[in-house]
Amino acid sequence: MPDCLRCDGRGGLTEDNFLLVSDYSIDTLRQLNLANDSAIRIPIRHQYVRSPVYDPVEKTVYWFYDNYIKRAYINGTQENLVWRQEYDRWGSSIRAIAIDPVSRLLYYTGTMYGLELGSNFLASMTLDGRHHFLLVTSRTNSIDNIALDPVTGTMYWSVGQGIDMAAMDGSQHHRLVNSDRYIYGLTIDAEGQCVYWCDGRRIESVAYDGNNRRLLAERQTTLAKTTTEAVNTSASQRPTELNAHVLVDSVK
């Protein structure tokens, strides 16, 4: 494994306290350093990047576009294809991915209209893309954003205008949050045991047990669909109302 921070040649990448932000409308993936507010473009060759997630064990970034899942080191080197979902005639696709650094599994959501048990699904696979495990299916609601907490063994995902949760093997599945708007982004605070999400106008949070739901930020006009999609922060850096307002103000 290369020393990803040194072989970058620009000396600005970090392994802790950063965000990965993708904007596939202008074909960029950037690392935002939370310690010094710097932003560095990660030079990957792939034209579009969606839902970047970081594996701190291998120091790699995983992302998808359409029906491909790819990875590269955090400095953009050794980019390769992990898995390609076969299209059916209706256009099956991947919607979101998340990585569990403990079990060494990659979780993903998507649509597969030929799937016998349901057209929308949540599944996991080994990091080499060889073995897949179907966990949740739905014929009525799209399964989109996903966040994992390996310590508690729970996972959280958006289902249209709601958030569901389950054990990471798909058992104990139940509804956590109902919303009146479509949910575009989802993340967790593992230390605080809270789920954070955003819709077209608001950023909200709720405890893992469904209590203490809070409105953190709101705009009167609809926000653009730009989301911060991967976070690697120390346990001491937990989201706050101020951080939420900063995120809202950065999405115009």
What local confidence, expressed as pLDDT, does residue 25 receive?
64
How far is Cα 40 from Cα 32, in angstroms, rounded to an integer? 7
Residue 113 confidence (pLDDT): 66
**69 beta partners:** 64, 83
* Domains, the chain: 18-250 (2.120.10.30)
Structure pTM?
A: 0.79
For residue 169, the number of C-alpha atoms closer than 13 Å in the C-beta half-sphere is 1
pLDDT of amino acid 190: 93
Instruction: Determine the Cα–Cα distance for residues 6 and 27; give it in Å rounded to an integer.
Output: 24
50, 62 contact by CB (below 8 A): no
- Amino acid 225: pLDDT: 47
Three-state secondary-structure class, residue 83: strand
The pLDDT value given to residue 16: 82
Please report, in tens digits, the pLDDT of each residue of the chain (252 residues total).
444 444 333 447 888 888 888 876 666 788 988 888 888 888 887 667 888 999 999 999 999 987 889 999 999 999 999 998 876 555 578 999 999 999 999 999 988 765 555 588 999 999 999 999 999 988 888 898 999 999 999 999 999 899 999 999 999 999 999 999 999 889 999 999 999 999 878 999 999 999 999 999 888 765 544 444 444 443 333 433 333 333 333 333
